[in-house]
């Protein structure tokens, strides 16, 4: 099992002083690290239509970026290019094993593991990301420069490549296999491969209020909520027709606020919204669907594993009713299933012991069977 190994500071210190604040190199954060995927298997994934991949290179000194799928790399030569594949944890259980070492940050903040294969001199160029990332170095060495947060001019080096002006590095270092570079949002950085290398970026997402409100609007429309019209009985006589006065403004705000003050509504929205995956899951429905009894019996013998990238959450506001959110869908299994619902969301691998309270509830067992049949969870062979 992969484990994060800190020598220079504690995890508490990291969260207090670095997370979302400052970049830092964690030397040998993954000791004895061996690649989790081969370049050939990565190229195999980049062949697939449903996998998000990119090639970045320079042609006659000009940056180029192409979106996959890719069938050939012959036009690229041996140097100066990178293949970047998004959400590899969805497709490779071995790469998904890089997620648990970062479980000290909740899963709802997690995004995906991106894998980058670079030839010598390859990289995506100097840029700024809007998310936190732990760049874990696999085989090969890579030189990383990270600049300070601040005013940095960004420009399109290519239609699909947003770059940043040259910056003074506050970190300028070579990463070796097992080293980790943590970069919070807003810090310009540039990684150039010194030799053929693989790196694994464990990325975390942050949502803007704009994205959350837009999602909330979709949620209330879908569920037909918040439909009560503005109402103003016993309104005082208005004197300036064109004026939306302070009292009216308060009423408008209160109407909107009433949605945000509804804990269940916001919890249901947050659970559904945050449990949706951005990239496709590798769902492999069973050719011969199982019955509830099959699933319960098999669970006694084999571990039930969550497919890579599947997002499952519960919230304090509703977990007492056995509510959880799986891949954007709300499920309610009743108060008695609370511990099973929590275990389902907290653990990547499930056992009968963890699910005991749920296995006594037919609705929970039926949902589990449906999930197994659809490929959301699979029995480890
Ligand atoms: C890369 O791995 O090539 C790019 C990673 C990053 O800078 O975010
Ligand atoms: Co970056």
Asked if 164 and 222 sit in the same domain, the reply is no
Could you give the angle at the alpha carbon of 105 between the alpha carbons of 18 and 354, nearest 5°?
Answer: 155
| Mutational pocket test of ligand 1: of 124, 144, 184, the residue with most ligand atoms within 8 Å of the beta carbon | 124
Q: Ligand 1 atom closest to Cα of 199?
A: 2
Q: Among all chains, which residue has been given the structure tokens 């490929």?
A: 375
Which ligand number lies closest to the CA of residue 114? 1
203 Cβ closer than 6 Å to some ligand 1 atom: no
Q: Are residues 197 and 315 in the same domain?
A: no
Nearest listed ligand to the Cα of residue 54:
1
Nearest to 98 by CA among 69, 144, 64, 134: 134
Q: Is residue 197 domain-shared with residue 251, that is, in the same domain?
A: no
User: Quick one: which atom of ligand 1 is closest to the CA of 127?
Assistant: 7
Q: Are residues 155 and 301 in the same domain?
A: no
Mean pLDDT of the chain: 97
Q: Determine if ligand 1 sits within 6 Å of the CB of residue 133.
A: yes
Q: Can you give the pLDDT at residue 159?
A: 93
285 belongs to a structural domain: no
C-alpha 191 to ligand 1 mean position (Å): 7
The pick from 23, 80, 83, 84 for probing ligand 1's pocket by mutation, whose C-beta has the most ligand atoms within 8 angstroms, reads: 84
pLDDT value at position 275?
Answer: 98
Q: Measured on CA atoms in the order 29, 33, 37, 43, is the torsion positive or negative?
A: positive
Do residue 42 and residue 176 come from a single domain?
yes
The answer to whether residues 107 and 158 belong to one domain is yes
What pLDDT score was predicted for residue 381? 85
CATH, residue 305? 3.40.366.30
Please check whether residues 28 and 167 belong to one and the same domain.
yes
**6: in domain:** no
Q: Are 69 and 42 in contact (CB under 8 A)?
A: no
Atom of ligand 1 nearest to the CA of 123: 3
pLDDT of residue 283: 96
Residue 119 lies in a domain: yes
Tell how far the Cα of 370 is from the centroid of ligand 2, in angstroms: 38
Question: For ligand 1, what atom is nearest to the CA of residue 183?
Answer: 8
Interatomic CA distance for residues 352 and 1, integer angstroms: 22
Q: Is the CB of 129 under 6 A from ligand 1?
A: yes
Residue 3 lies in a domain: no
DSSP strands (E only) in the chain: 24-26, 53-59, 62-67, 81-85, 110-118, 132-137, 142-147, 154-158, 161-164, 169-175, 180-183, 189-193, 197-204, 304-306, 312-313, 323-326, 329-332, 349-350, 377-379
For residues 213 and 322, membership in a common domain is answered with: no
Give per-residue pLDDT as tens, 34-86: 999 999 999 999 999 999 999 999 999 999 999 999 999 999 999 999 999 99
Q: Which tokens is 325 given? A: 């959110």
The boundaries of the domain holding residue 175 are 11-204
Question: What's the number of domains the chain is made of?
Answer: 3
Token pair, residue 180, equals: 């980790």
DSSP state at residue 81: E
| pLDDT at position 119 | 98
- From the CA of 30, how far away is ligand 2's center (Å)? 20
**270 lies in some domain:** no
> Measuring from atom 2 of ligand 1, which residue has the nearest CA?
116
CA trace torsion 134, 137, 138, 143 (10° rounding): 150
Instruction: Say which residue the tokens 């160029």 belong to.
Output: 125
Say how far apart CA 110 and CA 102 lie, in whole Å. Answer: 9
Q: Residues with Cβ within 5 Å of ion ligand 2? A: 129
Residue 139 located in a structural domain:
yes
How far, in Å, from the CA of 203 to the mean position of ligand 2?
10
pLDDT for the residue numbered 315: 98
Tell me which residue has its CA closest to atom 5 in ligand 1: 201
The tens-digit pLDDT sequence of the chain (381 residues) is 899 999 999 999 999 999 999 999 999 999 999 999 999 999 999 999 999 999 999 999 999 999 999 999 999 999 999 999 999 999 999 999 999 999 999 999 999 999 999 999 999 999 999 999 999 999 999 999 999 999 999 999 999 999 999 999 999 999 999 999 999 999 999 999 999 999 999 999 889 999 999 999 999 999 999 999 999 999 999 999 999 999 999 999 999 999 999 999 999 999 999 999 999 999 999 999 999 999 999 999 999 999 999 999 999 999 999 999 999 999 999 999 999 999 999 999 999 999 999 999 999 999 999 999 999 999 998
Contact 310, 376 (CB under 8 A): yes
- Euclidean distance between CA atoms 11 and 55, whole angstroms: 35
Number of the ligand 1 atom closest to the C-alpha atom of 133: 8
* 337 belongs to a structural domain: yes
Best of 201, 202, 203 to mutate for ligand 1, by most ligand atoms within 8 A of CB? 201
Q: Is the CB of 201 under 6 A from ligand 1?
A: yes
Domain of 54: which CATH number? 2.60.120.650
Give the integer Cα–Cα distance in Å for 308 and 11.
25
Q: Both tokens of residue 87?
A: 């959400």
Asked if residue 199 and residue 131 are part of one domain, the reply reads yes
Q: Are residues 15 and 46 in the same domain?
A: yes
Do 74 and 197 share a domain, yes or no?
Answer: yes
Residue 267 has a pLDDT of 98
Q: N- to C-terminal Cα distance for the chain?
A: 18
The rounded distance, in Å, linking the Cα atoms of 149 and 165 is: 13
Tell me what pLDDT residue 181 has. Answer: 98
- The answer to whether residue 367 sits within a structural domain is yes
99 with 117, same domain: the answer is yes
């Amino acid at each position: 099992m992969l484990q994060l190994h800190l020598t220079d500071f504690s995890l508490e210190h990291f969260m207090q002083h670095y997370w979302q604040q400052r970049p830092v190199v964690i030397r040998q954060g993954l000791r004895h690290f061996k690649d989790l995927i081969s370049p050939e298997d990565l190229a195999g994934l980049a062949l697939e239509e449903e996998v998000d991949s990119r090639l970045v290179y320079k042609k006659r000194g000009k940056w180029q970026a192409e979106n996959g799928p890719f069938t050939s790399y012959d036009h690229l030569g041996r140097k100066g290019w990178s293949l970047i594949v998004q959400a590899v944890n969805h497709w490779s259980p071995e790469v998904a094993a890089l997620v648990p070492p970062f479980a000290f940050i909740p899963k709802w903040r997690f995004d995906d593991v991106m894998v980058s294969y670079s030839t010598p001199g390859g990289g995506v160029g100097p840029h700024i990301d809007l998310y936190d990332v732990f760049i874990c170095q696999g085989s090969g060495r890579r030189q990383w420069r990270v600049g300070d947060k601040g005013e940095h001019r960004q420009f399109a080096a290519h239609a699909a490549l947003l770059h940043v002006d040259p910056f003074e590095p506050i970190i300028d270092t070579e990463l070796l296999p097992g080293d980790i570079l943590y970069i919070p949002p807003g810090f310009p950085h540039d990684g150039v491969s010194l030799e053929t290398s693989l790196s694994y970026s464990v990325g975390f997402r942050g949502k803007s209020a704009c994205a959350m409100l837009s999602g909330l609007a979709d949620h209330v429309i879908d569920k037909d909520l918040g439909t009560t019209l503005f109402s103003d009985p016993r309104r005082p006589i208005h004197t300036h027709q064109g004026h939306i006065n302070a009292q009216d403004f308060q009423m408008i705000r209160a109407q909107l606020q009433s949605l945000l003050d509804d804990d269940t509504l916001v919890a249901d929205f947050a659970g559904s919204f945050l449990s949706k995956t951005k990239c496709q899951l590798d769902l492999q429905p069973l050719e011969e669907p199982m019955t509830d009894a099959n699933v319960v019996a098999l669970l006694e013998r084999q571990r039930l594993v969550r497919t890579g990238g599947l997002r499952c959450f519960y919230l304090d506001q509703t977990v007492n009713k056995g509510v959880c959110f799986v891949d954007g869908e709300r499920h309610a299994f009743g108060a008695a299933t609370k511990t099973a619902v929590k275990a389902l969301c907290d653990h990547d691998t499930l056992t009968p012991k963890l699910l005991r309270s749920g296995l006594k509830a037919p609705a929970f067992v039926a949902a589990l069977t449906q999930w197994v049949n659809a490929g959301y969870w699979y029995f480890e062979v």
